[in-house]
Structure 1
Amino acid sequence: MADAVLIVALALAVVMATAVVLTRDPARQAIVLSAYGVTLGILFLVLQAPDVALSQIAVGTVVVPLVVILAIHAIRRQHGERR
């Protein structure tokens, strides 16, 4: 049973990683990246690493996508001011 859960978690991580790469719009990519962070957090829980899972969920799900969205917003605002 544990092997099946691990295989499903790994397959989900592969699917989400592929989705991040194939998403073209940077804003949407940040949202998919957040979902990928949750998926990795689940994978780490399955692998019995709760401390790493908590760190991944905090950083990979919240902080990194937030920084990406803020950078996109700043670039778009700056680009709009130049015109």
Structure 2
Amino acid sequence: MTETPIEEMSFEQAMRELETVVGKLERGEVELEESIRLYERGARLKKRCDEKLKEAEEKVAAITTDAEGNATGATPVDGL
């Protein structure tokens, strides 16, 4: 796992670490206390990913609308 604080991670960093956490939990390769710690970290990583996706969605919305909130011709991306 990385030493980077979760709140400073990029979406990609958080997603990679979340995948690692999920893999360890799915394989059951850690003891109960470590599983609980990993689950908690995974929840914080998921929250970070959600935050970064929301930021991206807001940026896309700002780029694709004019001052009155009308679409400027760009097509919204599904899921963002």
Q: TM-score, normalised by structure 2?
A: 0.48
Question: Which of the pair has more CA radius of gyration?
Answer: 2
Instruction: Return the structure number with greater helix share.
Output: 1
TM-score by length of 1: 0.46
